[in-house]
Structure 1
Amino acid sequence: MSVSAAMAPSTAATDDVGKQYDWHFAMLHDQPRNRAFHQAIAHSVRRSAAARGKPIKALDIGTGSGLLAILAARQPDCSRVTAYEIDRRLAAVAVSNVSRNGFTDRIQVIAQHSTAAAVRPADARASLLVHEILDSDLLGEGVLPAIRHAAVALLEPGYRAVPARAVVYAALLEHPGLPAFDRLAPVPGDPVLDPRGPLKRLLSPGSALGETAVYDVHVDDEVSLHGGRPLSAPFKALAINFESLPGPEGQKALIKVPVTATGLVHAVIFWWEAQMEADGSTEIMSNTPKCFGGVGSGHWLQAACLLPVPRQAFAGEELVVEASHDDNSLMFCLRPSVESVPSSLSCMSGTVSHGSSHAAMGDASRLQTLNCRSRNLALWRAAQWVARAASRASLTATAPVIDIGDGPFLSHLVLQCLRSGSVLAVGGRPFRRLRRQATLMQISKRSKGSKPSFARSPAVICLERSQEAFGFSCKWLGARGTALKPSSGSGSVPDLKATTGRRGWRAEVVCSDAPDLPSRAAGALMAEPFFSDLDGDWGEAAIGLFWSQVTALRGALTARGVICPGSASIHGELVSCADLWSQRQPLPSGGLVEGVDISEMNSLHSLAGVRCMEGQSYRGASVAERASLLTVDFRTRCPWRPPWPAAAVRLRPRPAERNSQELVAHALVVWVVWHLAPGVEWGQEPERPGARHGVMLLQQPMAVPAEGLLVQASFDGAHCHFRVSH
């Protein structure tokens, strides 16, 4: 028997579509959610029709598969349903599901956002609103603006809504790891984060270290696995009535919260309970975590509002928490006292964007990675090795180093190791077809008190892929100089201009008007590696992009030049994760959910390919030893055609588990280990905060025998392929 989940080139586009709708299948497998909607819709249709003395019309905003619209239409007292869906693929699926269930004459699916709908006459308006445009922090998908528009344009006065209202609950949380989500934290002695180094330019007097921001989290995991500790009991924060909306300015509440344990408050975590009917007569839908009395939040996460500065709290005292919201977000902050808070002041108006999260040119995962001290030390050791290699690469002077990754951190470390020289930062989009002018700026490292000097032979050439990355690099490196325009003529550096392309990758390195750098002159090609536009990549895209760029630029290396990282290994382990596997499965035979046939949704399903995840979000247990599956050597040329790098490795159970109960694997978890220099490496293991890894779900769960399972791995220059078999 062989179970394959390889992402073949011919099916890559289909697999990407399948990954896009993973969350939808998790939602449709959430039985408490489906049951709560079914009961509430049936009750609300009957009550609304009875109150009006005639069959009613219903409005479904964000219909998705069409399930909720069909649940309404099959009620005898519902004469018509208008359903809006902005995703055209989902809208087409909803139309097919409506047809399967025989409601084409009673349900109209419109593929647009409901807020684009024109005002309807009174006799065409709906008296029942069905919606589920909610997210982990309740308001992030724009539920309030959508309902506010519908109340004016599409609904009768006094309409009913399902859900009818939502109550937000919260608790204080101590979690030293959470601040790394949105700020660069100064660490004395850290090569990157030492407050006496370039970081001080981002943390100048009067600027804050972080910002009030909200992130999705899995509270049960943060408490049980990652060191989180509740410092208060849950408290009611806000209530939002979807049948009588607050104004666009939102609401504010001040709550006195008793502290139950001494500690540092890093965040306010919150969740919600959606009352499906206003009188609470039917089941609720909730994402309450288990550690606060929930029965499991199904496919939902929760949210954490990080405080700009942690607050010391002592058991027995009361803290004043302000909860507020506008049309798009919920926010929490701490106040000195109830009496000292002006009525006009709220967390929303007081929220300050300090730029630290934008400075790193990335999301929370990127910031967590930059705050990892072990990684920064590994980069420092790699920079020392690169500097020594560059010094040895030329007999006359230090050969320049070319940094082809986004961000200035490795360039800065190498320059520190060289102790002299300058940096040339190249901005714009030098790795794409250059149609716009790029900006070149020379940045000189100088001693204290000296005037800036702009050498024509830079020690480091820092190539940035975006203007944002270029601007931040200049700020980090202390840029002062003149902006130059790229020349349109040939001439300057032919060996630094190369174009390669394969399967969508295009690497075009342009360094016009740069200091003259003849062929075979660079001492090193290096990268962190980090590329700001590879969002949602677990590592395979970074491998492919770095390898293609190194291949394009290798003509610039001296005979003794080095590449950092020199190679990358893809590691993996087999895990048991029944919950995640079940949530990602297609709908069962017949596609019945609450008696409704929505089997057309399976046309958007795919288990093939590797999903990018962060942290131990698969929440599984390892059933086999970890091992290196495949190594990619960047010192060789990136292959544009077979044979691809490939290997086969047998993953065996740990000795202590070989004779225990039957082990079952549901997924292969993979991650990248970068070999930066001899004896220096850094890996993106799943347990590392912010590390991104890939999860490949097996087509069927597989028993893991004593001899283990065979994993075949290959890399074609753009994608990794895996096959698991006995």
Structure 2
Amino acid sequence: MSATTACPKTRAFQLRRNPLTGDSEWIVVEEGGDRQELEETTSKNLLATTSYLDMLNDSYRNWAFRAAIEKTIKKPCHVLDIGAGTGLLSMMAARTMVKFGEASKAKVSACESYLPMGKLMRRVLRENQMEKKVKVFHKRSDELLVGVDFQSPAEVLVSEILDSELLGEGLIPTLQQAHDMLLAKNPQTVPYRATTYGQLVESPFLWKLHDLFSNEINLSDGIHLTPAGLERVIGIKKQQYAMHCTAMSREIRLLSEPFKIFEFDFWKKPESHGEIEMSIKASGDGNVIAVISWWVLQLDEEGSILYSTAPRWLNCPDNGMVENCIPGNENWCDHWKQCVWFISGAGLPVSKDKLVLFKAAYDEIKISYHLKCDDQTCCNNFNFGNCLLELSPERVAVYGDKDWRLGFINAMRNTLNVRSAPLCIVADDSVFLTILISSLSKNTNIISSFPGLQENGAQYLRAIAYSNGFSMDRVKVIGKRASYLFTDNLIQQKVDFLVGEPFYYGNEGALPWQNLRFWKERTLLDSILAEDAVIMPCKGILKVCAMSIPDLWRSRCSLKKVEGFDHSVVNETLGACGDLPPMLEGPCLPYYIWQCGEVEELSEILPLMEFNFLEPIHTCSGKIKIEFSKLGICHGFALWIDWVLDNKKSLIVSTGPTSRYWKQGVKLLSKPLVVEAADSFAEIEAFFDHSSGEITISSFSPS
């Protein structure tokens, strides 16, 4: 029986966020339907925002796994692939065993619990005539049973369930269960081992991403998001943050040599917890702001095939440490980055050649660090009060940005001066605007929706109200979308001000125009707005710039052969660019442009479309001709929204690449455009669908 008919029809659900409401919606995805059903369920970008395509374009990664699999498998056997994805490793294992003959003893079991990807894997297997050599299971590995799903334990495990931190995709519990229930004694594994490394660094940029209190000390605008005595009332989660640290290398000062932290062996059952203490010698005077970490993957038992996620400054370093000169980090890729662990508060002062006591611990899903000075004072245990709001590092940096705050302060002062006893609705999760309005106007009543922050936002306001000189008697937090004001009968008068940043908690990594949810909220509240109500921001402008972004384009380009296996069938589903069929374009995806490797602007920044928030939400479009200002290769366009705070357009908050705290939308071309003449141009068109909240971007280049 072929693998395509071995499993009965099953049903799974895909969670999708509605950009206009913030609600989560479930999409039914059924297994066992025909090709048309498959294309319909997978063509809605369910997989385009994942890292699968980027990973499959990582040629060194693919080679390393192939080389290690061919070196490890030395006879026909049972191979288990956990987290099989497109089935690449499974096919590598099956192909390796062909040369040994004895086909009856060669078995490959591919476990992929994510149903849309499992369906795509079946297509890849068919295209490569591998559907009878690889048996697919649409289950979690802990749902597989020896004697039920397959007759004997696997002698070889091949898997790639690693994230940038290493453990975040459930590596430890997956290996534990596999060794207990699915693998033979003394199995062979690819990879064989992973080792994590770290380095102490100083960085003004990284400091701004987590220490709001120290940043506010340098401001004098009278707004205190983190008042004295409540220094930690706003903070970030204590976790590893995946970042492209090479992009900020000029803003990083190294304060130690690289040091080894943990080793994780795949060939034996790992422990659920572990910790280590060591002394790290400071390489210079400075202030440790963060620990940057990465890992090195040993794919074969002998240690001849390695892969590293180290930052590029460690590629053949001056100290000649051979373990750092490992392939893997030469080419930009987005599926694995370095990780940043922020040190609490203003950091840890160190002196050259002095020792820092470094403690690391891991559990089943994460790794954490603690640092102590020579005097044994732990810099991670400052008691600054309870952290009531855990925000993203970029949001913390925005709230500490002088120019960003000043723009809103000036706009709000100009607005509040023309009203008496007004009613204001903060339509998003902006604690800053709630505090600002409460501080500037003693007679304004405020309703803050806080649909994402909810009760945490209310507790936070109560904690800092006194320090900012306002009473909570004038502030009401509803903890849900502003449109719920109707059902809860909270509106007794017309609304004079409707404001937002816009910022919706939990939506920080989305496309910039998904904050047009503010426009939807404004529309739902239209009947209770005063005739002369002030809407802030009053307008959004979609901006565009032609870009040379070769590293990003390479990581998203269409696949052909991957280590000898045809993957062209996945291109449309995974949102690839390049070599696409006519009239088919890849999706627009969110990226921090400044972290996308080599980047260059090739045109002026131009407005593409405007959204007028003084009017109810409606469908709109825009089309412009972009003339190139530089010669080079255009790989696509960066798009973002500038929020216009006042009718005079004098106060604008931009979310473009010059500010590194917001992601931009990136529209990659199907084929890079070589700009060889000064009069070269391209056209780009945008269409906003007010019913779905989505923007469709189309680009046209002269032939």
Residue in 2 that maps onto 1:703: 674
Q: Offset at 1:484?
A: 11
Question: Who is 2:3 aligned against?
Answer: none
Equivalents in 2 of 1:285, 1:354: separation in Å? Answer: 42
In the alignment, structure 1 residue 399 sits paired with structure 2 residue 428: no
Q: Which residue of 2 aligns with 1:145?
A: 173
Deviation at 1:629, TM superposition (A): 2.3
What TM-score do the two structures reach when normalised by structure 2? 0.80
In the TM superposition, what is the alpha-carbon distance from 1:324 to its structure 2 partner?
A: 2.5
Please tell me whether residue 673 in structure 1 is matched to residue 642 in structure 2. yes
Structure 1 position 378, deviation (Å):
1.1
Cα displacement (A) at 1:302: 0.8
Alignment partner of 1:222 is 2:252: no
Deviation larger for 702-711 or 321-330: 702-711
1:140–1:329 contact (8 Å) kept in structure 2 = yes
Q: Following the alignment from structure 1 to structure 2, what is the Cα–Cα distance between the partners of residues 11 and 634?
A: 34
AA aligned to 1:242 is F
User: Does the CA contact (< 8 Å) of 2:54 and 2:555 recur in 1?
Assistant: yes
Kept in 2, the 8 Å contact 1:259–1:317? The answer is yes
Q: 1:147 to 1:276 in 2, by over 3 A?
A: same
Q: Over residues 85-109 of structure 1, what are the superposed CA-to-partner deviations in whole Å (9 max), with x where a residue is unaligned?
A: 1111111222233333334343211
Shift of 1:700: 0.9
1:273-672 counterparts in 2 under 5 A?
A: 273-281=296-304, 283-293=305-315, 295=327, 297=329, 298=331, 299=333, 300-309=336-345, 310-336=347-373, 356=387, 359=389, 362-391=391-420, 398-425=421-448, 466-477=454-465, 509-510=485-486, 512-514=488-490, 516-517=492-493, 521-543=494-516, 545-588=517-560, 592-606=561-575, 607=577, 608-614=586-592, 616-619=594-597, 620-639=599-618, 644-653=620-629, 657=630, 662-672=631-641
Of 47, 53, 61 in structure 2, the residue corresponding to residue 33 of structure 1 is: 61
Between the aligned partners of 1:551 and 1:123, the Cα distance in structure 2 is: 60
- Local SS of the residue matching 1:420: coil
Cα offset for 1:180? Answer: 3.9
Task: Mark the CA change 1:336 to 1:253 in structure 2 (over 3 Å): closer, same or farther.
Answer: same
Q: Is the 8 A contact 2:110 2:134 kept in 1?
A: yes
Shift in alpha-carbon separation, 1:319–1:249, aligned structure 2, 3 A: same
Query: Which region of structure 1 is more displaced relative to structure 2, 204-213 or 680-689?
Result: 204-213
Instruction: Give the Cα separation in 2 of the matches to 1:336 and 1:268.
Output: 15
Q: Distance in 2 between matches of 1:71 and 1:671?
A: 41
Q: Alignment partner of 2:45: what SS?
A: helix
Counterpart residue number, 2:152: 124
CA contact (8 A) 2:634 2:674 kept: yes
Other-structure match for 1:233? 257
Q: Distance in 1 between matches of 2:476 and 2:437?
A: 24
Give the C-alpha shift of residue 648 in structure 1: 1.8
Partners of 1:410 and 1:32 lie apart in 2 by 48
Structure 1: how far apart are the matches of 2:231 and 2:217?
A: 17
Deviation, structure 1 residue 471: 4.5
Label 1:390 to 1:603 Cα distance change in 2 as closer, same or farther (>3 A): same
Identity %: 22
Q: Of 185, 192, 202, which aligns to 1:157?
A: 185
2:273 matched to which residue of 1?
Answer: 249
1:659-703: CA deviation from partner (whole Å, max 9, x where unpaired): xxx411101001111111242111112132322211111111113
Corresponding position of 2:580: none
Matches of 2:590 and 2:510, distance apart in 1: 6
Alpha-carbon distance in 2 for matches of 1:37, 1:635: 56
The change in CA–CA distance for 1:331 and 1:102 in structure 2 (over 3 A counts) is same
**Cα-to-partner distance string for 1:603-645 (whole Å, 9 max, x where unaligned):** 5232423211235122311111222222222112322x5xx24
2:272 partner amino acid: P
Kept in 2: contact 1:389–1:523 (CA 8 A): no
Counterpart in 1 of 2:106? 79
Between the aligned partners of 1:723 and 1:612, the Cα distance in structure 2 is: 16
Counterpart CA distance in 2 for 1:326 and 1:352 is 24
2:169 aligned counterpart, secondary structure? coil
CA RMSD, 1 decimal: 3.4
Which residue type is aligned with residue 699 of structure 2?
V
SS in 1 for 2:656: coil
- Letter of the 2:626 partner, please give it: R
Q: Is the 8 A contact 1:324 1:346 kept in 2?
A: no
Partner Cα separation in structure 2 for residue 154 and residue 109 of structure 1: 15
- Could you tell me which amino acid in structure 2 is paired with residue 285 of structure 1? Y
Size of the aligned set, in residue pairs, is 619
| Letter of the structure 1 residue corresponding to residue 245 of structure 2 | V
Counterpart of 2:652 in structure 1: which amino acid? E
Partner Cα separation in structure 2 for residue 650 and residue 206 of structure 1: 47
- 1:69, distance to aligned residue in structure 2 (A): 0.8
Query: Which whole-Å deviations, capped at 9, do the CAs of 1:259-314 have from their partners, x for residues lacking one?
Result: 22322111111111111122213x21221221111555242211111111311122
Q: 2:33: which partner in 1?
A: none
Distance 1:689 1:12, change over 3 A: farther
Instruction: Quote the Cα distance in structure 2 between the aligned partners of 1:311 and 1:701.
Output: 46
Residue 230 of structure 2 is matched in structure 1 by 204
Separation in 2, partners of 1:58, 1:346: 47
Looking at structure 2, the residues matched to 695 and 206 of structure 1 have their Cα atoms a distance apart, in angstroms, of: 35
Q: CA deviation at 1:254?
A: 2.4
Q: What is the rounded CA distance, in whole Å, between the counterparts of 2:120 and 2:64 in structure 1? A: 23
Q: Tell me the equivalent position of 1:461.
A: none
Query: Taking structure 1 as reference, are residues 403 and 60 closer, same or farther at Cα in structure 2, changes over 3 Å only?
Result: same
Q: CA deviation at 1:551?
A: 2.5
Cα gap change, 1:28 to 1:120, in 2 (>3 Å):
same
**Structure 1 residue corresponding to 2:124, chosen from 87, 97, 110:** 97
Quote how far apart the aligned CAs of 1:710 are: 3.0
Write the deviation string for residues 319-375 of structure 1: whole angstroms up to 9, x where unpaired. 22223322211222213459x79xxx999xx8999764x615x43332232222211
Farther off after superposition, 61-70 or 408-417 = 408-417
Matched, 1:172 2:151: no
Distance 1:482 1:219, change over 3 A: closer
3-state secondary structure, aligned to 1:256: strand
- 1:408 touches 1:477 (CA, 8 Å); kept in 2? no
- Tell me which residue corresponds to 1:70: 91
Is 1:365–1:692's contact at 8 Å kept on the other side of the alignment?
no
Checking the alignment, whether the CA contact within 8 Å between 2:642 and 2:653 is kept in structure 1 is: yes
Task: Give the distance between the partners of 2:670 and 2:488, measured in 1 at CA.
Answer: 51
Counterparts in 2 of 1:29 and 1:138: CA distance versus 1, 3 Å: same
User: Counterparts of 2:490 and 2:417 in 1: how far apart (Å)?
Assistant: 24
Q: Which amino acid aligns with 1:512?
A: D
Aligned to 1:719, which of 666, 691, 694?
A: 694
Counterpart contact for 1:212–1:308, Cα < 8 Å: no
The structure that has the greater radius of gyration is 1
Letter in structure 2 aligned against 1:79: A
Structure 2 unmatched runs, 5+: 1-38, 316-324, 578-585
Contact 2:255 2:283 in 1 (8 A): yes
Q: How far has the Cα of 1:512 moved from its partner?
A: 3.1
Cα distance between partner residues in 1 of 2:42 and 2:220: 41
Secondary structure (helix, strand or coil) at the match of 1:308 reads coil
Conserved? CA contact 2:81–2:89, under 8 Å: yes
